[in-house]
Amino acid sequence: MEAILQQINDYRQEIESTELDNTQQLEAYRIRFLGTKGLVKSLMGEMRNVPNERKKEFGQVLNDFKVFAEGRFESARERLESNGAAEITGQDPTLPGDALQAGSRHPLSLVRQRIIAIFQRLGFSVADGPEIEDDWHNFTALNLHENHPARDMQDTFYIHQNPDWLLRTHTSNVQIREMQKGQLPVRIICPGRVYRNETISARAHCFFHQVEGLYIDEHVSFADLKQTLYFFVKEMFGSDIKVRFRPSYFPFTEPSAEMDVTCTICGGSGCNLCKHTGWVEIMGCGMVHPKVLENCGIDSNKYTGYAFGMGVERITQIRYNVNDLRLYSQNDVRFLRQFTGAV
Ligand SMILES: [Zn+2]
C-alpha cells in the first residue's frame, strides 16, 4: 500500500515536470496517463489489492491524482489551441511560402483560340468531327480520285482492322459532314488534329493541327473569300500586313489559291523563315468545287461557297517565331514557360 502511494507521488512529480508544448507531447502524455491502457486506469485496478479498511483513503488519493492528471491535460490542450496553428504544427506562419508556379496555355491552344475568336466575330460557328474517318468522307467526297497520291499508304495512316478507315489527313471531313446535314447556309470553322505519315523532323510531323473554314450560300463569290481572309490576317498579325494570292490547285476547290503574307520576322527584307523572299505562305483556299457540293446533296446551280484551311503550327511559327515543329509536342517546360501570360 505504501509502495503504491509512493508510486502515485512519483507520477505526480513526473506530470509536473513533463513539458506539454506541442500536440505530439500532449498526445504522448494522454496515452501514458489517461489512455485506456494508461497509468490512471492501471492504478484503478490496484484497488482490489488494497485492504478494505484503507480502500476509502486509497480511493481518495487515486481520485485526486486522476483529477490532477486530467486537469493538466485540459489546460495544456486549451493553451495550445488558443496559441493557434503555429505551436500546434510547430511551424512559423510568418515564413514566406513556396511559390506556386503559374501554368501557361500551350502556344497552339493560344493561337487556335485566337483564330476561332476572329472567325466567330464574322459569324462562323465551330464544328467538330471524328479523327478516325472513312475513305469516302476523307477523300472521295472531296473529289480526290481513286489514284490520288494523298491516298497512298506512304502519306496516310490506315486502320489495320479495316482498310476503309483511316486517321483523317485534314479536317475537311467535318465540312463534308456539315454539308450533308443539308441545313443551308453553312458557315463553319473546323479546328482539329490531323495525321500524316511523315518522318518527324523540324519541318514535318506525323500529326498537326488545322483550322478549316467553309461558307456555303447563294451568291457567295471569290470576293467574299478575299475580304474574309483580309480581315483575318489583319486581326491576326496586325494592320500593316500585306497579302497576296497565288493561283494553285486542289481537287476540292476551283479556282484555288494559296495565300501569302509579308514575313512578320524580317518585315519583307528577307530571312530564314521566308527563305529570303519576304513572303510566307499561310493557307490554301478557293471556291468549293461543284462536284463536292453535289456529293453532299447540295444544288451547285443554286449555291456556291468558299473554303480555306490553315495549319495552326504554321500560324504559331509566324506569330512566335518557333522554328522547330517538334518543340510543340516535346513538353519541354523551358519552351512552354515562354508563353506564360500570353493571350
Ligand atoms: Zn522573313
Is there a single domain that holds both residue 111 and residue 78? no
Residues 243, 150: Cα–Cα separation, whole Å = 28
Whether 87 is in a domain gets the answer: no
Residues 195, 171: Cα–Cα separation, whole Å = 10
CA 257 / ligand 1 centre spacing (Å): 21
Residue pLDDT, tens place only, 117-135: 999 999 999 999 999 999 9
Whether 234 is in a domain gets the answer: yes
Most confident of 32-36, 70-74, 231-235, 337-341: 231-235
Is there a single domain that holds both residue 168 and residue 301? yes
The reported pLDDT for the residue numbered 89 is: 62
| pLDDT band at 86; cut points 50, 70, 90 | low
CA 262 / ligand 1 centre spacing (Å): 8
Number of domains in the chain: 2
Is there a single domain that holds both residue 238 and residue 297? yes
CA 165 / ligand 1 centre spacing (Å): 40
Whether 193 is in a domain gets the answer: yes
CA 172 / ligand 1 centre spacing (Å): 30
Whether 302 is in a domain gets the answer: yes
The reported pLDDT for the residue numbered 84 is: 63
Looking at residue 31, the DSSP 8-state letter turns out to be: I
CA 50 / ligand 1 centre spacing (Å): 102
User: What whole-number percentage of the chain has pLDDT above 90?
Assistant: 57
Among candidates 37, 114, 313, 287, which has minimal Cα distance to 200?
313
The reported pLDDT for the residue numbered 340 is: 86
CA 116 / ligand 1 centre spacing (Å): 26
Cell 505526480 locates to 12
CA 144 / ligand 1 centre spacing (Å): 34
Angle between helices 222-237 and 107-121 (to 10 degrees): 130
* End residue of a domain, out of 49, 82, 115: 82
Residue pLDDT, tens place only, 246-265: 999 999 999 999 999 999 88
Residues 120, 188: Cα–Cα separation, whole Å = 9
CA 271 / ligand 1 centre spacing (Å): 4
The reported pLDDT for the residue numbered 251 is: 92
Cell (9 digits) for 167: 486517321
Is there a single domain that holds both residue 67 and residue 112? no
Whether 89 is in a domain gets the answer: no
Whether 214 is in a domain gets the answer: yes
Is there a single domain that holds both residue 137 and residue 52? no
* End residue of a domain, out of 82, 98, 116: 82
Is there a single domain that holds both residue 127 and residue 26? no
CA 227 / ligand 1 centre spacing (Å): 24
CA 10 / ligand 1 centre spacing (Å): 90
Residue pLDDT, tens place only, 157-209: 998 888 889 999 999 999 999 999 989 999 999 999 999 999 998 888 999 99
Q: Are 294 and 318 in contact (CB under 8 A)?
A: no
Is there a single domain that holds both residue 30 and residue 167? no
Residues 156, 255: Cα–Cα separation, whole Å = 26
Is there a single domain that holds both residue 64 and residue 158? no
Is there a single domain that holds both residue 126 and residue 38? no
Find the domain containing 47 and state its range.
Answer: 1-82
Whether 133 is in a domain gets the answer: yes
Is there a single domain that holds both residue 14 and residue 115? no
The reported pLDDT for the residue numbered 140 is: 92
Among candidates 123, 184, 197, which has minimal Cα distance to 156?
197
Quick one: which H or E segment has residue 294?
helix 290-295
| pLDDT band at 232; cut points 50, 70, 90 | very high
Whether 172 is in a domain gets the answer: yes
Whole-number average pLDDT of the chain: 90
CA 213 / ligand 1 centre spacing (Å): 27
Is there a single domain that holds both residue 159 and residue 228? yes
Compute the 3-state secondary structure of the chain and give helix, strand, coil in percent, each to the nearest 5: 45, 20, 35
CA 323 / ligand 1 centre spacing (Å): 12
Residue 87 has pLDDT above 60, yes or no: no
CATH number for the domain harbouring residue 302: 3.30.930.10
> Cβ neighbours of residue 128 under 8 Å, at least 6 residues apart?
174, 190, 192
Query: Judging by DSSP bridges, how do beta strands 304-311 and 207-217 pair with one another?
Result: antiparallel
Residues 235, 233: Cα–Cα separation, whole Å = 5
Is there a single domain that holds both residue 75 and residue 125? no
- 254 annotated binding-site participant: yes
The reported pLDDT for the residue numbered 227 is: 96
CA 224 / ligand 1 centre spacing (Å): 28
The reported pLDDT for the residue numbered 88 is: 54
The amino acid occupying position 48 is R
